[in-house]
Structure 1
Amino acid sequence: MKSPSRRVRFWLAGSALVLLAGALALWGAARWLLPSDAEVSQRIAEGFEKHYGIGLRIGGAHWSLLPMPVLVLTDVATDQPRPVTVHRIALRLQLAPLWKRVVAADSLEVEGAVLPGESIRAFRGRAPETIEKGQIALPAPWTLAETPLERLRWRDVRWIDRRDIELAYDGQIDFDPGWRPRHALAERAGASPPARLRLDREGRNDRWQTRIDVAGGSWNGVSRFESLNNGRLRVSAELVPRDVDIEALVQTFGRRTFVAGKLHGQTTLTAEADKAGALMRGLRTRTVFSVSPATLTKLDLAKAVSTAGISRGGRTVLDELSGTLDTEATPDGTVLRYTGLKARSGVLTASGNVRLFNRRIQGDAAVDIVDGVVGVPLKIGGTMSDPELSLTGGALAGAAVGSAVLPGVGTAIGARVGQQVERLFGLDEPPGSKKKPKP
């Protein structure tokens, strides 16, 4: 008679063999019924083209069911003159929900992507309505989990703007239900000093503590997300810049500036759209700022006044520069408007308004020099890399008359009078030139 312990061992061994045989049978059935790597690659490419009307090339695809469902795509590229490319995409699904026909992903990782702005813009309006609204429709009886994706991570994702400036970013988002970020981090790869954005959700509210470290300073505050009664979506934020080095800030994002100093102020941000994907395209910001001390690194205000001609280059050291900056995203780029500008130093005071768009500068200023020279009007033009100051046509005419009547101070007074005449009659031509009549 066999002992109970031997019967238990035989029973356990037999059970293990049955389970192993079942697992092998299930694996074999899965390999026979489920698509191959090549079929998965083909289906993804066909589905992408069906949804977006743009072809997709996939260099390699691999997927596995056990121990965790994983799909990996490599060397992906869109069929465009300047393709969107991704070196590697990895999607990790949760196995248990799949048995209940529920789709839930642990993570989605994107590595080594290149995103030309002109190619990304070609996708606008091509996606199905549900995808545009941040929804994903699955064929019945499949459904999405309450939290469809736990974590999104990207590394070395490079954005190329319309000026061919290429900037690399890293980041990660951990999601709550309803695609709400619980924590988020985005940073300029390799930037020194560091440039990073961090979001932390306040409980279950649609509010996020926002911390921005950039250019040796901070830009912290609170961000909000709202679904409005009219069905539109709204993002807003109130942020406080402190000790932000302006030159380091613009260099971090491949830009140039002719103002140096550390920025302080108050920023509000708003964006409204019918679809989540369009929010950034409707972004507006307003920053009330002061820079103290400040330096105009490519403009010499005193030289421009004293020469009464076109002035380029030079420097102007200021005790303080203040004003309001409004930015507005447009299909052709971001427009920057500086209004209520006020500058002062031991030598001069100035006021004015400036508009920047596609690196072109347009604006006007009134410069008050000590020792009796008051209110000299200047026109600001040129580009960000080569700004220039000059008297406008009407002001030049007034300056010529003023200097003949009252040498010295008469030049400035005459220029001021000439500017007022110019504004009254809409003149903006140098003296002696013929202005073409308006059609």
Structure 2
Amino acid sequence: MKKATIILIVLLSLIKVTNAQDSKISGSWLVTKIVVGDQVDEPLFVIDYSANGSIITQGIDVGSWSHNQKEEKLIMTSDMDKDFVGDCKIISLNEKELNFEKGDQKWFLSRLNMDEIAKINSESGLIGSWKFADDANDDSTRVLTFEAPDSFTFIEKEPGMESRTGGMWIYNQEEKSLLLIGRIEQVRGKNRILTISKKELVLENAGVEIIIRKSDDSSQKIERLNFTGDDFFDENGDYKYDSEEGKLPWTDPFEMLMSLVNTSQLEYNFSALVEGTKVFETKKLTADVKTDKDEQSVSIDFIFYGYDRYDLPDDTQLPPNILDFNYYNRLYPLKENSFRVAGQEKLTTPSGTFDCTVIESVGTSEEKYKLWMINDKPGIYAKIIEDKEGMFGHYYIYELKNIITNN
């Protein structure tokens, strides 16, 4: 008797799977509309009715399904979500649409051909990162990254806040439309494409025009720093680059003082990479320079935290950065960093072209630096890259924009 029961259970399971595999329901569907009385909701989410009888939405297995073809019912069960529980009376079912009644609800679904979507998306020219054009008017940065075959990431950054969401995208070349499915404001749902080119995409959503621009070909190139702190020590743990100090172009603090005596400010372009994209947030930083020949003192504002005295975050002060002539810092304005000389390079910045000594350095919190010291301008860096990997990492570029003199 026990053996017969087991066989019966197995047979019932096979029947359920067979019903799912043979059913016209099996596949991916977009829920376009749910109607309850006079209320119409357009939820726009994808349901996968898998051939093995599983219901999957947003990558989560939420329940199971079967198709009673005799009574034309879609039967759904779930312990996770009541939306996927019930015997649903099928109103229509064909290669393109599935409509059913579930209690007092009417569901309308459109079939998705995932292979075709992947092909059309790959040929759309949209894959990559795009930045919303109107963000230049405020302190926010919004980046929409299209990935193959059909997923997108939306990143929104404001001072002190960053959010990341994702979803699915479908490009329709014939309709000139772009469907975005997920938690994304302003461009969620069906967008009419007004303009599409290699550099600009103009959309219309609910009567509002939105301009986003391609950012993968940014003028700022990403040069990840691949050396580690271990590279600065030999197998015995001894520092390998003690002799490098003699190769630095700035070795005399008095020479730095005289070089900067007529300089009042240094302006830098500060670019912070939006992680997960090739998009940079860029702003200008200004470092005030103060010199006193009689007192033999030099002070340059330390702007290498990403802010200056003209735009300080709340409850923040600039760190003191006065050169101590008795304890000269070889990599002024950085602190006790290990470093090595990587070579010589002629570098062009918005401020001009300079002969530079290139330095590689490691910080105390796993930061890595690449610095271009201008050979004939002691105290002035042409460029600095700061790279820190990991969950709370960052990638910054400081590039000299202008040297402002007292004259």
Larger relative contact order (C-alpha < 8 A, sep ≥ 6)?
A: 2
Instruction: Provide the TM-score with structure 2 as the length reference.
Output: 0.27
Which of the pair is proportionally richer in helix? 1
